[in-house]
Amino acid sequence: MSRFCLRPPVLLVGALVCGPAIAVPGAALDLYGRVGWTHDDNLLRIPDDAPAFDNQRSDSWRTLEFGAVYDRTISRQRLVAHAKVSKVSFDHFRQLDYDGRDIQGTWYWQLGNRFEGRLGGSYAQTLAPYTDFRSDQRNLRKQRRGFFEGGWKLHPRWEVRTAFSRDKYDYELDVQAYNDRTEDVVELEGRYLARSGSAVGLVLRRIEGDYQNRRPFALTTLTDDFTQDELKARVDWKATGATTLQALAGYARRKQPSFGAGRTSGANGRATILHEPGGKMRYRASVWRDFAPLESYVVSYTLNKGVSAGATWDPGARLRVEADAIYERRNYNPRNVPIAASALEDTLRTASLKATWAVRPKIALSAAAIHQARSGSPVLGIGKFTSTSFAINASGQF
């Protein structure tokens, strides 16, 4: 389930231009660093017909990042830990400067020949999205996550899996405190494993959202607590040697008693197809329909429908080019207020192009361009906007 429909510009560009360093399994420790510069011509996603903060829409920022990856295998157990710290400094909106944190740890455990799984946790501190909240003040979001996954192989072709996770979100600004929440997920799955490497399973899942603070609405306050039950099929189909279909899709029912009828249901899920014919090209495409929470005064959640397509080209051993396009429509569910359905939807289009050059085995230069366009919804106070970002980065492992 999507947490946010749009990433903040700093996250969007940072995730596209560079990814975390990956240690070689069995190795002990890898250190890495990155320095980057990014420019965005509409940093805070100000609508086209709205005045900008300080009469300034664009801004540039610099990122310094240092991290370490620990990866060690001991007998049948594997331990992986990743820690990253970053410093982000803006040229104009200096009040947004922040120190980022990203810490993750996972124990890939195995007990005998029939039991295996994962146990881990993570902590992240970064800038929260401004897409549904107009402000020029810093709003850091802290996310803490803990999870457990376990599998029991009943037979070479059959297995049962269970998973538990908890995500906790805290926001820096007092006016965003009503978005502080905890989400608990419980999952049970039965899966069939084919000789070809394909797999198909049936998944039962429950998601419970608990909001610590009540949201102001009219002359009272409301709770955003929700429960979502899902019944889905998980498919990993090796259609050919070059094509794979991955899907998790089915039926979902969401209950939020404080909003309107307080209940909605329907098809929910995502499907992705990967095609790797060999040579220098790889292709990917996805389609999805899911419910997502939204930080808004007049709606409780969104129903997102989207498609994406992308390709990766490796023209040489040291050069890689990636291109992606995304289209997403959000349909909003109103609170207890009379709003025409046609006024409660908007669309987002995103196109990106990234190139990476491996100067040396452990040194890489990258550049990226991203364009976003949004139709907006005046009723929700979300206007039409466009944004174009450019970024360059240098990273190295040592």
Answer left, alpha or beta for residue 176, where phi above 0 means left and psi between -120 and 50 means alpha. alpha
Residue 263: which residues within 8 A CB-CB, separation 6 or more?
Answer: 253, 254, 255, 256
Tokens of 95: 């009040």
Give the model confidence (pLDDT) of 281-339 as tens digits.
999 999 999 987 665 555 667 889 999 999 999 999 999 999 999 999 988 765 555 55
Residue in 230, 274, 265, 227 with CA at minimum distance from that of residue 248: 230
- Tell me what pLDDT residue 81 has: 97
Give the model confidence (pLDDT) of 223-249 as tens digits.
788 899 999 999 999 998 899 999 999
Q: Which residues pair with 361 in a beta bridge?
A: none
CA 192 – CA 11 distance, rounded (Å): 37
Task: Grade residue 120 by pLDDT with cuts at 50, 70 and 90.
Answer: very high
Task: Grade residue 382 by pLDDT with cuts at 50, 70 and 90.
Answer: confident
Please give the torsion angle defined by the CA atoms of residues 126, 132, 138 and 140, in that order, rounded to the nearest 10 degrees.
-30
Q: Which residues pair with 362 in a beta bridge?
A: none
Task: Grade residue 357 by pLDDT with cuts at 50, 70 and 90.
Answer: very high
Tokens 């999870």 belong to residue:
147
Count of beta carbons in the 10 Å neighbourhood of residue 257: 13
Q: Is the pLDDT of residue 17 over 70?
A: no
Per the CB < 8 A criterion, the answer to whether 141 and 126 are in contact is: yes
The CA-to-CA distance between both ends of the chain, in Å, stands at 36
Burial label for 24, CB within 10 Å (0-12, 13-18, 19+), is exposed
Tokens 């820690």 belong to residue:
83
